[in-house]
């Protein structure tokens, strides 16, 4: 199984921004946690982060028919990027939107997710463990698909 983990704007600044929302762990801590989990579960993965909407779209397009699933945290692009939504809809794989904080308990403008409509599932408010839950969801979906 091969998956991609895609992170949007400012996720690279974890540990330095809004600790009350995102905690004190860094982006490197997130990468390490995902790496350890994927190695243990024998899952091939790529991890990608960009602060540029266009680069995220280009990356998503490059995944077409290349991965079994995508875990995406579009970050600030969640709330307005129809272009990222469209790129997600193009992909035929399982897609999970993840948010470290619970966007529904934050500012009004953060409660709206445009991009979730391009995903099979949304996970919010579970910290870094939301990424693992997203990977596990993809794993179960791929297993069920291959079983049939």
Q: What is the pLDDT of residues 36-58, one digit of tens each?
A: 999 999 999 999 999 999 999 99
User: What is the pTM (predicted TM-score) of this model?
Assistant: 0.94
Q: What contacts 127, CB < 8 A, 6 or more positions away?
A: 23, 100
- In the block, tokens 């990468």 appear at 31
Which pLDDT belongs to residue 33?
A: 98
- Each residue's pLDDT tens digit, 5-16: 999 999 999 887
Average pLDDT over residues 17-22: 63
pLDDT class for 1, splitting at 50, 70, 90? very high
What local confidence, expressed as pLDDT, does residue 48 receive?
A: 98
Quick one: pLDDT at residue 147?
81
pLDDT score of 102: 87
Residues 6+ apart with CB under 8 A from 108: none
In this structure, the number of other CB atoms found within 10 A of the CB of residue 145 comes to 10
Runs of H (alpha helix) within the chain? 19-22, 27-40, 53-62, 82-90, 129-147
Is residue 97 over pLDDT 80? yes
List the catalytic residues.
Answer: 22, 99
């Amino acid at each position: 199984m091969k998956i991609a983990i895609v992170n949007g704007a400012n996720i690279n600044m974890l540990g330095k921004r809004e600790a009350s929302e995102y905690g004190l762990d860094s982006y490197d801590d997130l990468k390490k946690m995902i790496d350890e989990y994927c190695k243990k579960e024998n899952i091939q993965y790529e991890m990608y982060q960009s602060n540029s909407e266009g680069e995220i779209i280009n990356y998503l397009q490059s995944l077409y028919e290349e991965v079994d699933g995508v875990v995406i945290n579009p970050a600030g692009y969640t709330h307005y990027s129809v272009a990222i939504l469209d790129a997600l809809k193009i992909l035929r794989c399982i897609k999970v939107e993840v948010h470290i904080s619970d966007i529904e308990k934050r500012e009004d403008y953060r409660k709206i997710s445009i991009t979730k409509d391009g995903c099979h599932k949304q996970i919010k408010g579970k910290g870094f463990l939301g990424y693992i839950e997203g990977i596990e969801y993809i794993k179960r979906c791929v297993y069920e698909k291959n079983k049939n």
